[in-house]
Structure 1
């Protein structure tokens, strides 16, 4: 956040729809997250989406303008929408017609409306994520990365492209009290109380799926840790936030896109 706070003045200079410092910082963080997902190849051309609440603005969140690639995302490319999907003013030259992926709105608005504890939501269509989403057994407890989600992962059955707003109730029910979910035959979803936590969740979930695909491809019998070890490991991961690991990892990840300078903070 220290690097992002240096851009406070840019918010006023650009006059992003009257956005205050808090909203501008949220925009910068979210744009950085988009670029990090591109860095780790968690993209699907212009599809999939990441969102974050607008601080102090109940019912409003930021999401990508449809058509912008993740690696080129800027703070000013993010569209502010309300709970009904209406695009609000987002910056110089912005128009109410700025396009948001309709399925993206359905998925993200469902979580934001039902889970006030979650600030940021990530949805991906990676090869490994889709592969595990297509496997009946779901995520197997075969790696340390997977054990982070042991007993803490929701599953939502595929209903087609998420264009029906009525699906939101079922999405939320499947997520339950968890912060991550596998959308069967579709992809992954992860969220967090902060952008840093959401990134941590999707990074480990993606890596767990990659490990599972590779392990199954080996054609050998898999070794599963005993139940007691699974539960203990899941509990150990629960201490990451308290010990500052999540924020430490986020700051380290931001250095991966330092070569881009202030590009995403425009």
Structure 2
């Protein structure tokens, strides 16, 4: 079967996430729906380190084979197929889903109040655009995944209290770009909190305006970001496309 550009894009994001040290070895998972579908999606094969994932390591999950794949935990991590399968099905706007336990997003998720205040451009990107799943009940098996999907609702991203983060996008580039900037935003916010000085929080109006301006930016920076990542990987780790 021919490897698609969608698979190559997704494989590149795994490799880059490893370079950024935002991975947990062979844990965590990304997925992307086949164009035109909300039920069929690619997700990473179980047991492969993020730094080693290739396009051919992405397994196609369909509405016809999903139940069979749930019985093959050595092929797809059970939490991956449950979390991504459930969210893709129940939240149609989540075409691509990125889930990690990265350092700063996870630290943020452990705070009693994990909502980032709008203190810089990166934190403002996520103003009023992140839901919080406050009902941690164990690993992301079926019941937990249904609660996650319900908590995401019409928001684009979700902080999983005591767990990590999920970002989504219409494209691989968009979803990954949000993941990248969420981690940067969380790092800035936690660093600012660590000073024990009063935060200079912008007004709700300015935060919303900045978030909307970012969303409506005339240049597709997410697409350019992923293109540059792939250019680097094409030179340094071209096997990611295989």
Structure 2 equivalent of residue 110 of structure 1 = 86
Partners in 2 of 1:142 and 1:107 — Cα distance? Answer: 31
- Given the alignment, which residue of 121, 137, 145 partners 1:159? 137
Structure 1 equivalent of residue 197 of structure 2 = 220
Structure 2 residue 222 is matched with structure 1 residue 250: no
Number of residue pairs aligned between Structure 1 and Structure 2: 237
Moved more, 23-32 or 192-201: 23-32
Partner SS for 1:249: helix
Kept after mapping to 2: 8 A contact 1:52/1:120? yes
Structure 2 equivalent of residue 73 of structure 1 = 53
| Structure 1 unmatched ranges of 5 or more | 1-15, 89-95
Partner SS for 1:63: strand
Kept after mapping to 2: 8 A contact 1:121/1:198? yes
Structure 2 residue 115 is matched with structure 1 residue 133: no
Q: Deviations over 1:71-109 (max 9, x none)?
A: 111111112223435349xxxxxxx77521111112111
* TM-score, normalising length: structure 2: 0.90
Q: Deviations over 1:98-139 (max 9, x none)?
A: 521111112111221123333211001011111100112212
Kept after mapping to 2: 8 A contact 1:123/1:187? yes
Partners in 1 of 2:38 and 2:187 — Cα distance? Answer: 37
* TM-score, normalising length: structure 1: 0.82
Q: Deviations over 1:129-176 (max 9, x none)?
A: 11100112212222211110101111112111112x133332122112
Structure 2 residue 207 is matched with structure 1 residue 230: yes
RMSD across aligned positions (CA): 2.0
Structure 2 equivalent of residue 207 of structure 1 = 184
Q: Deviations over 1:172-203 (max 9, x none)?
A: 22112122110000001001100010111111
Partners in 2 of 1:61 and 1:104 — Cα distance? Answer: 12
